[in-house]
Amino acid sequence: MARLPRLVVPNQPHHILQNGIDRQPIFRDVEDCTQFLGWLREAARQFKVAVHAYVLLPAQLQLLLSPSDTTGLARMMQWVGRYYVPYFNAKYQRAGTLWQSRYRATVIDSESYFLTCSQYIELSPVRLGLAGSPAEYAWSSHAHHAGTRSDPLIHDHPVFWALGNTPFEREAAYRQLIDQGLSEKQWLALETAIAKGWPLGSEKFLNLLAKQASRRVSPARRGRPARPKAETAQE
């Protein structure tokens, strides 16, 4: 079955996942991370994409962002790759692509899953054993949300602003969410949606999205459709 085109919804949060080819490192030192984030910031500004959260893992990139139109996300990712891949290849004397296939984009229901997705991203280093806490991992947006460092890359989403009336209240509320962590059910819901590329949200959100996009936004049910009862009875 042919793969559906990537779904991009303007002004809606998307989780972006990009792996290194064969799970090879794509960030090896401080300079790599700094260079990538600088180019990402410029590309986000140029193509009008608001970045809300991120993490740079050794062999993986995760972003939570909202594009302003249907083309800006792809153009941003292409632009960053056009600068970062040649830089990385020249530095480490390698050739060829750096990425494992195309990046994955999952549309996120902001009301139900925005904060959960932000936590998922910033807790990833802890889940992978790279740090004891999100605060110990330098290459994520956690410091910005926790109030320990302002990050010029980050554009706070209205859902984050709703956590409190002042920066102190918002940061304290977010730190509390991080301390609570995610349940296995929440991890599984996010990991499944990200792996499959299906939007993640409430039934109401998915129904509205399907109408707006004029396409299927969830997996089709497996198996043959049930026969009508009248037809079954006649047999």
Which tens digits make up the pLDDT trace of 57-116? 999 999 999 999 999 999 999 999 999 999 999 999 999 999 998 899 999 999 999 999
Nearest partner of 62 among 105, 17, 25, judged by Cα? 17
For residue 40, the domain's CATH number is 3.30.70.1290
Cβ–Cβ < 8 Å for 30, 36: no
Confirm whether 232 is domain-assigned: no
Its domain, for residue 189, covers 14-198
Query: What is the reported pTM?
Result: 0.89
In this structure, is residue 206 part of a structural domain? no
Does 162 fall in a domain?
yes
Q: Strands across the sheet with 104-107, in order?
A: 49-57, 60-67, 14-19, 104-107
Task: Classify residue 217: in a domain, yes or no.
Answer: no
**Has residue 56 been placed in a domain?**
yes
Question: Closest by alpha carbon to 157, among 122, 124, 120, 109?
Answer: 109
Name, in order, each residue with C-beta under 8 angstroms of 29's C-beta and a sequence gap of 6 or more: none
Q: Is residue 214 part of a domain?
A: no
Average pLDDT (225-231) is 52
- Mean pLDDT over the full length of the chain: 90
Alpha helices in 47-93 (DSSP H): 72-92
Total domains present in the chain: 1
